[in-house]
Chains A and B, each alone.
Chain A
Amino acid sequence: MNTITVSRRGFLASGAAAAAGLTLGFHVPFAGDASAQSVTPEVNAWVVIKPDDTVVVRVARVEMGQGTLTGLAQLVAEELECDWDKVTWEYPTPGENVRRGRVWQNFGTAGSQGIRQSNEYVRKGGAAARMMLIKAAANEWKVPVGECTVAKGVITHAGTGRSTSYGKVAAAASSLTPPAADSITLKDPKTWTIAGRPLKRLDTAEKLNGRQVYSIDMKLPGMLNAALKVCPVFGGKIKSFDVTQIERMPGFKKAVRLGDTGVAVIADTWWRAKTALDALPIEWDEGPNANVQQADILAAQQEGLTAREAILGSKNGDVPAALGSARRTVEAVYAVPHQHHVTMEPMNATALWTAEKCEVWTATQNAEAALATAAEVSGLPIDKNEVYRLHLGGGFGRRSSSHDFVRYAVLIAKEMPGTPIKTIWSREEDMTHGWYHPATQCRLVAGFDDQDNLSALHMRISGQSILATLNPDRLQNGRDAATFQGLNPQGPESQLGYTVPNLLIEHAMRNPHVPAGFWRGVNNNQNAIYLECFLDELAHSSKQDPLEFRRKLMANHPKHRAVLDAVAEKVGWGTPAPAGVYRGIAQQMGFGSYVAACAEVSVSDAGILKIHRIVAATDCGHAVNPQQIAAQVEGSFVYGLTAALYGEITVANGRVEQENFDTYQMLRMDEMFDVETIIMPSGGFWGGVGEPTIFVAAPAVLNAIFAATGIRVRQVPLSKTSLKKA
């Protein structure tokens, strides 16, 4: 068994030193904590070096499978010039971040930002620590700093032949004044020796023997467990429940109201809590949404496709005029439904509340937001709350969209002061109370001029806004910028890769009662399906090759075009595919990276789709760990194609119909395809890799299906369309 030791003053969690076959405890020191004095002092906020030369890198962003932890450690180690074999890691807590004036800055790990938005300051943290360690050695030897060199954590003074190690001078270094910010020079990535290499992850070993402690595995002395039910209709309330029916059941401790929305049962074990909860008679007030049906949601979207009023995304030229004078026009409507994150580890959190302090142990993509939620619910000042991060069994945006799992855990813990309580959501509760990939539709109209050039494009997106659910304050004049991801006329984040003389992109916001959230890839996913499939339609309508049709529109977008060209070349676009196999292509830019994919598929006469091979290219500016980028790219196609093939959450009588994997299907190994990854970092910028290739997964496959069958799939999921030969 893994050892997790918890005290009221600190938290010991086993770290990745186990990768070296060790089991070490790492103590996160707390300000004003007497026990911290016995702990190795930090060189700076990012680096702790132990007397045995072990290098502990502090990681503010969170690991949920995407490899950020290892990548960030590589960046710090690169500038630190330490021995990579001695590197391990630890998470600081958000409470400590508050106490230290946000010395670790942002903990948020979403939007593929973990590395791209923190690389500069974590590298500077590593460089500053290196400078302080060398200075400490130089001071000890009374020689000029400039005469000392360092390699793999060993500092040498050539003139006197002396050398020492980081571990020996770390204590002295920790008391030095940090170097001025403008004196820190970062390495040219061309000279990297630790970053940029396909190193193994730091967090693998414990995932192979059951020792990795995920949030759901948390144990504390005297801990109880809770199961919960929230009103199955969004917006509904709990009316009453009859505890007398369950209070004699085994292990039962207490049934508690969750504000006005639900009820939880606390028992000695979770299974007993769940069993008692399932037997609990509950009366719901299902509220105003009890009669909402799927058809109502779709009808609102359809009305928005042609409604007079819409929010402007971007425009150039005069689309109505250009369409009016077009020699011919093409029109299509596409639709993508609600989809669920389905992290393998269902939502959960452990909380311990007293009148003096509230502590939470959980899996979160944003520990600072988790802390804020804990403070809001606990009723205690922010400095009387703390959140300890445990490993995530998947995030995908669910664990950043909302911290409802923290809210409920603290509400429950408040009912039994002094007793730690772990609250686990059943899979059914998790799936029916999500923050769903927003459902939208899109009507596209294109006009061609007398030379059959694309002269006008109108995209009208209709449907849900994520921010309208999660954070209406961040809407700008009612506009949700995320809705237009991948379609922006300029900017380094999610720029459209085509130039069309007359372009109009709009959003008719139609928000159903189903809550929306950030779902891996976010609105790039829907928008890439709309635009990249429609461009394919336009190419075929003008009897042009889909690649060449796109390339003509991409003269002003060389980076977009470069990734597209790279996949075309590798897949052999323009040369015959194997017999019965057909190709589809797509590109998009988002989260700072340029991506493209080509899919090779076949479809049997009976309509059975087989995806044979995906070739995918990514230009993420700088590639910190190529083998982890390849892993992300492979996984992103599984995620994106699971959604494209099967992903659909529907509503009946105001509630979600799908509850578990039997009705919400996943792509499994029997359908898995080859993925060939091209990593082509062009330098000069930092792009994300956790999400971008998801965008092109569905459109590449849907375009290949058209090539194979002549059937244009405009509705996700694909399972709703028969591909059977007529």
Chain B
Amino acid sequence: MARLSINDIIRDVDVEPDTPLLWVIREQVGLTGTKYGCGIAQCGACTVHIDGVATRSCAIPVSSVTEQQKIVTIEGLSPDLTHPVQKAWLELDVPQCGYCQSGQIMAATALLSANPRPTEQQIRDEMTNICRCGTYNRIKAAIELASNTMAG
């Protein structure tokens, strides 16, 4: 059993303690916006926020997360697409297949929370998620757009 706070809802899940957080989110909780890509914290498709920090959920056991830690998934970011990062992604038509984009958006929002005005080089260094469709330039442009919007 584990007790988790996901998108501000407390969830009790019946699961083995070594189950990766990703699979608890996808299978026990049923939130499938967070994706499986590699299982070894390489690709970032499984990125969620834990207390605001971008975390690759495929490689951390559920037992390492406490009830007090706030987990936010893509579904909890803003369901109605009002987050400035989502708006920027929409404005620039960023996704192609879209499979990695939940993780990209969660990585980008965490980056902007920690550093609202990142330089181009900082974006390049921080955004390490893989996109096989090759949307990197539009992702970078969307982060810059969101940063400008948020700075108002």
A: residues with CB less than 8 A from B are 1, 21, 64-67, 200-201, 203-205, 207-214, 216-217, 219, 225, 250, 269-272, 275, 342-346, 391-396, 424, 426-427, 627-628, 631, 634-639, 660-662, 666-670, 672, 674-675
Chain B residue at minimum C-beta to C-beta distance from A214: B99
**CB pair B30 A1 closer than 8 Å:** yes
Measured between C-beta atoms, what is the minimum distance from B142 to chain A in Å? Answer: 10
Measured between C-beta atoms, what is the minimum distance from B1 to chain A in Å? Answer: 12
**CB pair B102 A627 closer than 8 Å:** no
**CB pair A668 B136 closer than 8 Å:** yes
Q: How far is the CA of A271 from the CA of B61 in the complex (A)?
A: 12
**CB pair A344 B23 closer than 8 Å:** no
Q: How far is the CA of A343 from the CA of B43 in the complex (A)?
A: 12
Q: How far is the CA of A200 from the CA of B87 in the complex (A)?
A: 13
B77 within 8 A of A: yes
Q: How far is the CA of A636 from the CA of B90 in the complex (A)?
A: 21
B31 within 8 A of A: yes
Q: Which of A204, A219, A634, A669 has the most CB of B within 10 A?
A: A669
In the complex, which residues of chain A have a beta carbon less than 8 angstroms from the beta carbon of B96?
Answer: 65-67, 631, 635
Q: How far is the CA of A668 from the CA of B80 in the complex (A)?
A: 29
Q: How far is the CA of A86 from the CA of B131 in the complex (A)?
A: 31
Q: Which of A271, A391, A392, A427 has the most CB of B within 10 A?
A: A271
**CB pair A208 B132 closer than 8 Å:** no
Q: How far is the CA of A64 from the CA of B71 in the complex (A)?
A: 30
In the complex, which residues of chain A have a beta carbon less than 8 angstroms from the beta carbon of B99?
Answer: 214, 343-345, 393-394
**CB pair A217 B32 closer than 8 Å:** yes
B57 within 8 A of A: no
Knowing that A394-B99, A670-B124 are A-B contacts, what are 7 other residue pairs whose CB atoms are under 8 Å apart, sorted by A's residue number? A204-B90, A346-B36, A346-B37, A393-B97, A639-B133, A639-B134, A660-B38
**CB pair B97 A394 closer than 8 Å:** yes
In the complex, which residues of chain A have a beta carbon less than 8 angstroms from the beta carbon of B27?
Answer: 225, 269-271
In the complex, which residues of chain A have a beta carbon less than 8 angstroms from the beta carbon of B81?
Answer: 21, 205, 208-209
**CB pair B134 A661 closer than 8 Å:** no
In the complex, which residues of chain A have a beta carbon less than 8 angstroms from the beta carbon of B137?
Answer: 634, 672, 674-675
**CB pair B134 A271 closer than 8 Å:** no
- Residues 40-59 of chain B: 1 if any A CB is under 8 Å from the residue's CB, otherwise 0? 10110100000000000000
In the complex, which residues of chain B have a beta carbon less than 8 angstroms from the beta carbon of A636?
Answer: 134
Interface size on B, residues (CB 8 A): 59
In the complex, which residues of chain A have a beta carbon less than 8 angstroms from the beta carbon of B131?
Answer: 344, 638
In the complex, which residues of chain B have a beta carbon less than 8 angstroms from the beta carbon of A393?
Answer: 35, 97-100
B67 within 8 A of A: no
**CB pair A666 B133 closer than 8 Å:** no
Pairs across A and B, CB under 8 Å, 20 listed = A65-B133, A203-B98, A204-B89, A204-B95, A208-B90, A210-B73, A212-B33, A225-B27, A269-B28, A271-B19, A346-B37, A391-B97, A393-B99, A427-B36, A638-B133, A638-B134, A668-B127, A669-B124, A672-B136, A674-B137
Contacts A67-B96, A250-B16: A209 and B134 contacting too (C-beta < 8 A)? Answer: no
B: residues with CB less than 8 A from A are 16, 19-20, 23, 27-28, 30-40, 42-43, 45, 73-75, 77-81, 86, 89-90, 93-102, 105, 123-125, 127-140
Chain B residue at minimum C-beta to C-beta distance from A628: B93
Contacts A219-B30, A346-B36: A669 and B101 contacting too (C-beta < 8 A)? Answer: no
A660: contacting residue among B35, B42, B105, B138, CB under 8 A: B42
Q: How far is the CA of A424 from the CA of B136 in the complex (A)?
A: 27
Contacts A210-B32, A662-B42, A670-B128: A344 and B134 contacting too (C-beta < 8 A)? Answer: no
Report whether over half of chain A's contact residues are helix, strand or loop; otherwise say mixed.
loop
Q: How far is the CA of A203 from the CA of B94 in the complex (A)?
A: 11
Measured between C-beta atoms, what is the minimum distance from B129 to chain A in Å? Answer: 8
**CB pair A210 B102 closer than 8 Å:** yes
Contacts A1-B75, A344-B132, A668-B136: A207 and B42 contacting too (C-beta < 8 A)? Answer: no
In the complex, which residues of chain A have a beta carbon less than 8 angstroms from the beta carbon of B37?
Answer: 344-346, 427, 661
Q: Ordered nearest first, which 4 A-B pairs have the shortest CB separation?
A: A210-B33, A638-B134, A393-B99, A65-B97
**CB pair B97 A661 closer than 8 Å:** no
**CB pair B138 A631 closer than 8 Å:** yes
Measured between C-beta atoms, what is the minimum distance from B147 to chain A in Å? Answer: 15
In the complex, which residues of chain B have a beta carbon less than 8 angstroms from the beta carbon of A396?
Answer: 132
Q: How far is the CA of A707 from the CA of B93 in the complex (A)?
A: 36
In the complex, which residues of chain B have a beta carbon less than 8 angstroms from the beta carbon of A426?
Answer: 39
Measured between C-beta atoms, what is the minimum distance from B87 to chain A in Å? Answer: 9
In the complex, which residues of chain A have a beta carbon less than 8 angstroms from the beta carbon of B39?
Answer: 426-427, 660
Chain B residue at minimum C-beta to C-beta distance from A675: B137
A669: contacting residue among B74, B102, B127, B132, CB under 8 A: B127
B133: contacting residue among A212, A217, A635, CB under 8 A: A635
Measured between C-beta atoms, what is the minimum distance from B41 to chain A in Å? Answer: 9
**CB pair B93 A631 closer than 8 Å:** yes
Chain A residue at minimum C-beta to C-beta distance from B16: A250
In the complex, which residues of chain B have a beta carbon less than 8 angstroms from the beta carbon of A427?
Answer: 36-40
Q: How far is the CA of A566 from the CA of B35 in the complex (A)?
A: 41
Measured between C-beta atoms, what is the minimum distance from A299 to chain B in Å? Answer: 32
In the complex, which residues of chain A have a beta carbon less than 8 angstroms from the beta carbon of B89?
Answer: 204, 208
Q: How far is the CA of A393 from the CA of B40 in the complex (A)?
A: 19
